[in-house]
Chains A and B, each alone.
Chain A
Amino acid sequence: AQTVTQSQPEMSVQEAETVTLSCTYDTSESDYYLFWYKQPPSRQMILVIRQEAYKQQNATENRFSVNFQKAAKSFSLKISDSQLGDAAMYFCAFYSGGSNYKLTFGKGTLLTVNP
Chain B
Amino acid sequence: EAGVAQSPRYKIIEKRQSVAFWCNPISGHATLYWYQQILGQGPKLLIQFQNNGVVDDSQLPKDRFSAERLKGVDSTLKIQPAKLEDSAVYLCASSSTAQSSYNEQFFGPGTRLTVL
Contact = CB atoms under 8 A, between A and B. Distances in A.
Interface stretch (B12-20, B67-75, B100-108): B100-108
A47 B45 CA distance: 17
Interface string B94-116: 00001110101101111010000
Given A102-B56, A108-B41, A97 B100 contact: yes
A50 B100 CA distance: 17
Contacts of A30: none
A100 B56 contact: yes
Most chain A CB within a 10 A radius of its CB, from B58, B89, B102, B110: B102
How many residues of A sit at the interface, in one of the four size bands? Answer: 20 to 34
Contacts of B48: 102
Nearest to B108: A44
A22 to B, nearest CB: 15
Given A91-B42, A108-B41, A47 B104 contact: yes
Contacts of A106: 42
Interface residue SS majority, chain B: loop
Contacts of B55: 100-101
A97 B55 CA distance: 13
B32 interface: no
A78 interface: no
Interface in A13-53: 33, 42-47, 50
Given A43-B89, A44-B108, A105 B43 contact: yes
A105 B105 CA distance: 13
A109 to B, nearest CB: 10
Interface in A64-115: 91, 93, 95, 97, 100-103, 105-108
27 contacts: A4-B42, A43-B89, A43-B91, A43-B109, A43-B110, A43-B112, A44-B109, A44-B110, A45-B91, A45-B107, A47-B104, A91-B42, A91-B43, A97-B100, A100-B55, A100-B58, A101-B100, A102-B33, A102-B45, A102-B48, A103-B43, A103-B105, A105-B43, A107-B40, A107-B41, A107-B42, A108-B42
Interface of A: 4, 33, 42-47, 50, 91, 93, 95, 97, 100-103, 105-108
